[in-house]
Every structure is written in structure tokens, then in C-alpha cells.
A and B are shown apart, each in its own frame.
Chain A
Amino acid sequence: MILTELQVAKSTFEAGTGWAITPDGACKDEICVPLPDDARASRGRLDVSVIAGRLGMPLVHDEGHGVWALGPETTVTGRALTTARAPELELPDFDGNPFRLSSLLGQKVLLVAWASW
């Protein structure tokens, strides 16, 4: 996810990473990784760099533009999937309408990536 600051609202972090921040820590499906106290910053915000460190998420910075990109977790399974539960995916269609993969619960889904190039 793209960040312009390293303290963000809980909902922003959750939507951008698929990890829920709960009293048990950072959770995805049945997996919870405990977080240190300093993961929670002031005014209900989260310290992204602390959580990124716990989950093995890289933070890449572009100094010239003052933005960061937070990469995916690496320390839980060491694989592209952390659990077999499909992660949420919200992307726009070609008219700009947002679509959530979870809206298809109850159907079998073949999710396919293609490209023009």
C-alpha cells in the first residue's frame, strides 16, 4: 500500500494490507501475531513501521516524492499465501465502480489475471 505518512488510521491499514488489528495483535484468518505496545500511536493511529517489522513487511521509500510503499508480509509462512482463505481484493471495473471479491461468497470463483501487453 502507498503511504504518505507512517502513522495511519486502523481502517486504512486494514484495507490496505488485509490484516485486522485486534486486541490479540495483527490477525489474518486464524493467524494472530502479537504486537508490541508501541504499535499503537497516539489518537488511535497505528505505527506502520512497528507493525511492518513484526510481520516482515518491507517499507520502501522514495525520498524525492515523500512516499512509501508497504510490501506484503514475509515472516508468517514465507510463502505468497499466509492462509488458504482468499484475501479480500477490491478493485475497480472499467467504469470505475469498486468491486469486492468477497461479494461472490457462495459461488465457485476462478480469478484470472491477464494483461494487454
Chain B
Amino acid sequence: MWQALRERLHPSGLEIVTVALDVDPEAARPFVEAAAAQHPSLIDRAHLTDERFGFVNVPNGVWIDEAGMIVRPAEPVFPGHNPVLQSFRKIDLTTLEPEAAEMLREARKITSDPDGYLAMIEDWAEHGAQSRYVLSPDEVLRRAAPRGVDEAIAAAHFELGEHLHRAGDHAAAIPHWREAHRRFPSNWTYKRQAWELEDPARQGRTDAYDSSWFEDIKKIGAENYYPPVVP
């Protein structure tokens, strides 16, 4: 989906850079190869883009202008209607096990506005600094997510956990990732990555963590999973 948007907007001087937040590049590789992207497609095993740009979920993105200034800080970004979310709506819940049906019922509450976002990015591609969606440096900083001691410690724990996991000691990573989750519960990339390694099918509850995708999304309400993009 990003590739199609990039082909359309690249003639206007807009480049897309996609970054896969995956501790295992091989998990992301099939998607990258299927997309055959012409734009830079990068791998970020330690989720460093979270701490550099303030990402807390996927897809999240920032706009950077020709001079290297951020003109929109981290926010949910949508290149079009998400086929996964759309497929959720077509499934007959009565055909599912009760637990799966409950999960899907919750997931259907996830909201996004791909049409609104596409209009914004097209406006920026065409009008550049004159786009009404371009924000001043002060506004960019005002909208950037707060980062206190807990969020910064969480970033360090996540990175340390990834380092140990990559070195072959997965068990040693888990306490660091648990601490990252405790300190920064609104960061979904730290949580979903860790849950997925234990339970790839459902990101469900395992002995490793006191949380799961379904439990945590119910706590906040799935309708709040992606905050609305403020133009």
C-alpha cells in the first residue's frame, strides 16, 4: 500500500521511508519482498525509532520537510483502508469460538480515517510548506508526546532486552521487556512485539507477561487504540 502511494506522490518530491519494528528481520522480510518497494525499506530491531520520534504503535509516522524539520510529529498514519481491519468486518462471529468472537468484536471497534489522512498527505505533497497541515516547530513540540523518566527508562529496557534476545538469551530479555511494559503501558510496539514472540497466533496471555493484547485493549477501549489525527 505504501508503494502505490509512493509511486503517486514521488513526482511531487515526496519520498516514503518505511521502518519495520521487528526484532526478527526474517518475520518482516516476506512482506518487504512482496511489496517490492522502490523507497527505502529499513529494519529497526531495537525499536529505536520509538525513542527518536515518539512512535508508540504501528502504523505511526512523521512528516519531515526538505530542510529536515519535522512538520508533523508522531501520529497514526494510513495509506488506505487496512485490509486486515476490513476483513474483520466480513467474518460471521457466530462461526467462531466464543473467545475468538469476543476478540474480534473488540477489534472491530478500532477506528481509523484513511480517507482523511490521504487527503492530508496529498495536500502536503502538492503544496509543501503552504499546506494547511504543516505545523510550526513550536506546535510540533507541543504535540509531541510527553516523555518523562518512566518512558525513557522503558526505552532503555526495551533496547537492552532486544540486545540480550539477539545475543541468544531470550529468557534474559523477558524481565527487561516486562519492565518496559510496566513503565510505558501506552507503548504498543514494546508490548505487541514481546507478546508475539511468546504467542504468535493471538498475542495472548502467557507465563512470560502479566498482560495480553486482548486484556490491554479492553482496558483502554479499542476505539482509543488509534487516537484521532488532529489536522
- Complex Cα distance, B193 from A113, in Å, reads 13
- Complex Cα distance, B147 from A104, in Å, reads 27
Known: A92-B42, A110-B61. A84 touches B70 (CB 8 A): yes
Q: Mark A23-62, 1 if CB is under 8 A from B, else 0.
A: 0000000000000000000000000000000001111101
Contact partner of A2 (CB less than 8 A), chosen from B25, B157, B159, is B159
- Complex Cα distance, B145 from A57, in Å, reads 17
Which residues of the partner chain B approach A111 to less than 8 Å between Cβ atoms?
17, 19, 49, 53, 61-62, 64
CB nearest to A2 among chain B residues: B163
Number of interface residues of A (CB under 8 A): 51
Known: A18-B52, A62-B160. A109 touches B152 (CB 8 A): no
Interface flag for B223 (CB, 8 Å): no
Known: A65-B169, A116-B20, A116-B28. A109 touches B64 (CB 8 A): yes
B22-72 residues with Cβ-Cβ distance < 8 A to A are: 22, 25, 27-29, 31-32, 40-44, 48-55, 58-71
Give the distance to chain B from A8, nearest Cβ to Cβ, in Å: 16
Number of interface residues of B (CB under 8 A): 83
Q: Mark A75-116, 1 if CB is under 8 A from B, else 0.
A: 001111101111101011110000101101111111111111
> Would you call A71 and B152 a contact (CB within 8 A)?
yes
CB nearest to B169 among chain A residues: A65
Give the distance to chain B from A117, nearest Cβ to Cβ, in Å: 4
Known: A69-B163, A74-B152, A80-B145. A109 touches B67 (CB 8 A): no
Give the distance to chain B from A109, nearest Cβ to Cβ, in Å: 4
Which residues of the partner chain B approach A109 to less than 8 Å between Cβ atoms?
14-17, 63-64
Which residues of the partner chain B approach A99 to less than 8 Å between Cβ atoms?
17, 40, 42
Interface pairs (5), CB distance under 8 Å:
A62-B176, A91-B44, A94-B25, A101-B64, A117-B196
